[in-house]
Amino acid sequence: MSGVRGHLPYVTLKLATSLDGRIAAANGESRWITGADARSAVHAMRAAHDAVMVGIGTALADDPELTARTEPAPARQPVRIVVDSNCRMRPDSKLAQSARSSAVMLYVTEAADSLQRRALQELGVDVQVVGAVDGKVDLQSALAHVRASGLHRLFVEGGGHLAASLIDAGLVDRLEWMRAPLILGARGAPAIGALNQDRLAEAPRWRRVDFRAIGEDFWESYEAR
């Protein structure tokens, strides 16, 4: 399976939110918005993809492992990828500390601190320097490298800035959206950051291909039009 652009991976964006599209409460609390059944489904989706990607904001806030914890365990773990323009990943993070046992890739720009890059590389993190757009990682270049590395199916888990950047660039092929039956309001963190649009006619549109209940939550699947 390939993405809507043949030289890039097929990109699935997963969102786990409240009914009003929030991923965290006003104090930053985010575990757990969705229920156990939804979380199990996410691990199964991770296992079905070649790589899992998050932005550095999510990596710093949650210190995730990004492994697929399924029963039975998957034959292989997905490559774990972080988009980290300025190389802010902590060497003591779970991702960096486990890079030698399960692959971790980090996409940074030329402006990233060279000492920090070296420290992460010494831990086994595969640090890739790509071009920048407005001071941030050029996602087209990063995804082209992902595909060239033999990773054809990419599972993106946020956060809001990365999700918005991928959607703005037309790089998302599929949305997997899980909604929990709670409302967090405007002070909660949005699942998708600001998009580069002003009018309704400019809004990206999607085709719903599935809708089902999962535990107490709802799971919606959409494909890019």
- 106-126, pLDDT tens digit by residue? 999 999 989 999 999 999 999
Tokens encoding 119: 């420290």
The Cα–Cα gap between 54 and 48 comes to 17
8 Å CB contact between 148 and 188: no
| pLDDT value of position 177 | 97
The Cα–Cα gap between 89 and 57 comes to 9
User: Does some domain include residue 1?
Assistant: no
Q: What is the pLDDT of residues 197-210, one digit of tens each?
A: 889 999 999 999 99
Which amino acid does the sequence have at 65? E
User: Does some domain include residue 173?
Assistant: yes
Q: Please give the residue range of the domain that contains residue 126.
A: 10-224
User: Does some domain include residue 5?
Assistant: no
Where residue 5 falls among pLDDT bands split at 50, 70, 90? low
Give the residue-averaged pLDDT of 165-180: 96
8 Å CB contact between 212 and 193: no
In the predicted structure, residue 78 carries a pLDDT above the cut 80: yes
The Cα–Cα gap between 18 and 186 comes to 12
Q: Look at residues 164, 204, 182, 193 and name the one whose alpha carbon lies nearest to residue 38.
A: 182
Provide the number of structural domains found in the chain: 1
User: Does some domain include residue 139?
Assistant: yes
Percentage of the chain exceeding pLDDT 70: 98
Q: Look at residues 21, 23, 73 and name the one whose alpha carbon lies nearest to residue 220.
A: 21
The Cα–Cα gap between 124 and 79 comes to 13
User: Does some domain include residue 2?
Assistant: no
The Cα–Cα gap between 51 and 151 comes to 7
User: Does some domain include residue 73?
Assistant: yes
Where residue 6 falls among pLDDT bands split at 50, 70, 90? confident
User: Does some domain include residue 108?
Assistant: yes
Q: What is the pLDDT of residues 159-168, one digit of tens each?
A: 899 999 999 9
Percentage of the chain exceeding pLDDT 90: 84
| pLDDT value of position 1 | 45
CATH number for position 118: 3.40.430.10
